[in-house]
Chain A
Amino acid sequence: MSKDSSPQQSNFVTNFSRHRLSWLDVLPFALIAGLFFVAGSYLPLITQIMIMSVFALSLDLILGYAGVETLGHAALFGAGAYGAGIFALRASPDPMLGLVVAGLAGTTVAAITGPVVLRARGITLVMLTLAVATMLLELANSVQWLTGGADGLYGFQPSPLFGKFPFELDGRTAYWYAAMVLLIVFVVCKVVVNSPFGLTIRGIRENRVRMRLLGVPVLRRLVTMYIISGFLAGVAGGLSAQITQLVALDSFSFVLSGNVLIMLVLGGAGSLNGAFLGAALFVAVSDRAAAVSPFHWLFALGIGLILVVRYAPSGLVRLLAPHGSR
């Protein structure tokens, strides 16, 4: 509680739904810390989950909170991945700097496409987001001198983290690096969601027309959220590029956009916590299931998704904490 609020006021505050610090926020990071010592050869898989969690969090801001149904979120991820890769190859191998460049690349794509895409709604919006990602994929495919085209972009390696911890094959540095970035991104998301802007964005999700008639410039607010989301998605892409030391064309692919959407829906959109659960389930299950039955795992995923949408339509995380924030 802030020092200047009277008891009555702090009571009034409970009428606002708010993302409070709960065990659900702490759990993923406790698990990340604990699993480090027992995961062994699974470290890279957990790192992958963390990267996808960052990506799913960025989608949650624009989809879960702002209600923008995008099927082209990979456009922002891919921009970040290529941004980080090209920056590492041509400018500097510094990982932190590279991540900022990746975020800015995602932001740039969001700032350019947002004002056009976010004007639309429903199926038009879905098609436009899809088109942006597809166009970027084709662009990356055609400017081979810069992106490596269909072969992908490789041959770069991040310099040691903080000048001390080299990225080695065992993936320990990458693990802690991803965990640190995930924590920062999560805190940023929490701050944004709990702010006056966060409430405005939920208002826009609920009733865009009325928001306009409260005197709020709706499109500008949506573009702002898209830019924030774009920065974080770009960071996820940059993280992926630096850790796998490869950027492939499928960073822009429809499959990736679809996968991150499935992760968020599985875990629960509009809660922040759902992103972790969804990413963990999706990446872990797809890894295991693909090892057991490479051809049928998509079938299992489909059944799982149908069950979730039917019996837990607001996501699995709501089963753990039914009264979580909206």
Chain B
Amino acid sequence: MPQEPLLRLDDVSKNFGALNVSRNVSLTLDKGARQALIGPNGAGKTTLINLISGVLHPTSGRIHMSAVDVTRVSAEERVRLGLVRTFQINSLFPKLTVAENVALGVSAHARADWRPWGEMCRQAGILEATETILVSTGLAPYAGVEVAKLAYGQQRLVEIALALALKPKILLLDEPAAGLSGAEREALLALLFKLPQSLAVLIIEHDMSLVFRLAQKITVLVEGTILVEGTVDEVRNNPQVRDVYLGHRAHG
């Protein structure tokens, strides 16, 4: 019997009143997947990420992580099950240092965050894990800098470092390259290529060159529903996708 996919969406729909922002979306994410979610503005990409991460709950359909039905499970609990996301707009801890930001994730994952004794500075395990992540994300030189004082591009990297601190099995990246300069984008891409192989990654991104380089599989979302799903080449050469992106979508 084949292994259960890490993440499986079955016929997931979300309505806000009469507005269907997601319609009958089904997708699976296997171990090691590098999948991109693309689509024009308003296609419901962020809604879908919110549904997967548990910020929103679907009107109908089911979501499974491995064999566990998480359709009604809270966002916090999904994090503990290994489903971690980054945010489109930086959502960090501005007055804490880069090291402290990442250490928050590490200590939450180690379930040490509740302990009101034992100096933080003596928690060798947490410090080591934090340093390792900072080195691997290229943030080590900024470890002692307040996040609020970092350049935007570096804050985006902290966002990803914080997600990695939670040792995810599934990583959802919501427009990680938004607002980055060319050089910053290359740094981000280098980091994404270095992510652990076992990790399943679902990335929302507008930057097609980045998507084409990173993804093995692309899902095109239009008006809340899946238009096409396939390899990079299949999607690239699909006439429907071209129409959507060139702006003359044929109705019907």
Interface, chain A (partner B; CB < 8 A) = 2, 4-5, 9, 12-18, 191-192, 194-200, 202-203, 206-207, 209-217, 220-221, 224, 228, 326
The reply to whether B104 and A13 contact each other, CB–CB distance below 8 Å, is no
Asked if B208 is at the interface (CB within 8 A of a chain A CB), the reply is no
**Contact residue among A5, A210, A217 (Cβ-Cβ distance under 8 Å from B91):** A210
Q: Considering only CB atoms, which chain B residue lies closest to A202 in the complex?
A: B96
CB distance from A20 to the nearest CB of B (A): 9
The residue in chain A whose Cβ has the minimal distance to the Cβ of B53 is A213
Given A16-B121, A195-B116, A221-B114, is A213 in contact with B75 using a C-beta cutoff of 8 Å? yes
B109: chain A residues within 8 A (beta carbon): 215
> Which residues of the partner chain B approach A196 to less than 8 Å between Cβ atoms?
107, 112-115, 118, 120, 123, 126
What CA separation (Å) do A54 and B136 show in the bound complex?
Answer: 44
Q: When the two chains form their complex, are residues B93 and A215 in contact, meaning their CB atoms are under 8 A apart?
A: no
Name which residue of chain A comes closest to B94, CB basis.
Answer: A206
**Contacts A16-B99, A16-B100 known; A215 to B76 CB distance under 8 Å?**
yes
Asked whether any CB of chain A lies closer than 8 Å to the CB of B52, the reply is: no
User: For the complex, would chain A's binding face be called helix, strand, loop or mixed by DSSP majority?
Assistant: helix
Given contacts A16-B99, A207-B93, A221-B114, contact A194 B119 (CB under 8 A): yes
Q: Given contact pairs A198-B116, A199-B113, A221-B113, enumerate 17 new A-B contacts (beta carbons under 8 Å).
A: A2-B122, A15-B97, A15-B143, A16-B103, A16-B120, A18-B120, A191-B117, A194-B119, A194-B121, A195-B119, A196-B107, A196-B120, A207-B91, A210-B91, A212-B76, A214-B108, A217-B76
A278 to B235, CA, bound (A): 66
Task: Say yes or no: is B144 at the interface (Cβ < 8 Å to chain A).
Answer: yes
Q: Which residue of B lies closest to A18 (CB)?
A: B121
Whole-angstrom distance between the alpha carbons of A15 and B87 in the complex?
A: 25
Contacts A/B (CB < 8 Å), 24 sampled: A9-B127, A13-B127, A15-B97, A15-B98, A15-B99, A192-B117, A196-B114, A196-B120, A199-B100, A199-B103, A199-B107, A200-B108, A203-B100, A203-B104, A206-B93, A207-B93, A209-B91, A210-B92, A211-B104, A212-B76, A216-B108, A224-B116, A228-B116, A326-B95
Verify A215–B99 contact, CB threshold 8 A: no
Q: When chains A and B are docked, how far (Å) is the Cα of A294 from the Cα of B148?
A: 46
Closest to A211 in B: B104
Chain B interface residues toward A at CB < 8 A: 53, 75-77, 79-80, 85, 87, 91-100, 103-105, 107-109, 112-124, 126-128, 130-131, 143-144, 162, 166
In whole Å, how far is B181's beta carbon from the nearest beta carbon of chain A?
25
Shortest beta-carbon distance, B57 to chain A, in Å? Answer: 15
Q: Which residues of B lie under 8 Å from residue A12 when comparing CB positions?
A: 99, 127, 130-131, 143
CB distance from A177 to the nearest CB of B (A): 25
Contact (Cβ within 8 A) B144 A198: no
CA of A130 to CA of B80, assembled, Å: 36
Complex alpha-carbon distance, A198 and B113, angstroms: 8
CB distance from A5 to the nearest CB of B (A): 6
Given A195-B118, A196-B118, A228-B116, check contact A214 B95 (CB 8 Å): no
- Asked, given contacts A215-B80, A326-B95, whether A200 binds B124 with beta carbons under 8 Å apart, the answer is no
Please, which residue of chain A has its CB at the minimum distance from the CB of B114? A197
- Partner of B85 from A9, A17, A213 at Cβ < 8 Å: A213
Cα of A213 to Cα of B77 in the assembled complex, Å: 9
Nearest Cβ on chain A to B167's Cβ, whole angstroms: 11
Complex Cα spacing A182 to B108, Å: 32
Assuming the A-B contacts A13-B121, A197-B115, are A214 and B91 also in contact, with contact meaning beta carbons closer than 8 angstroms in the complex? no
- In the complex, the answer to whether A216 meets B127 with C-beta atoms within 8 Å is no
CA distance A9 to B135 in the complex (A): 13
Residues A200 and B104 in contact in the complex (CB < 8 Å), given A13-B127, A15-B99, A16-B121: yes
CA gap between A194 and B116 in the complex, in Å: 8
| Interface contact A213-B79, CB-CB below 8 Å | yes
Partner of B120, one of A194, A206, A212, A326: A194
- Taking the closest CB of chain A, its distance from the CB of B62, in whole angstroms, is 22
Distance from B6 Cβ to chain A, minimum over Cβ atoms (Å): 18
User: Shortest 9 CB-CB distances between A and B: which pairs?
Assistant: A15-B99, A215-B79, A206-B93, A15-B144, A197-B116, A15-B143, A200-B113, A214-B108, A196-B112
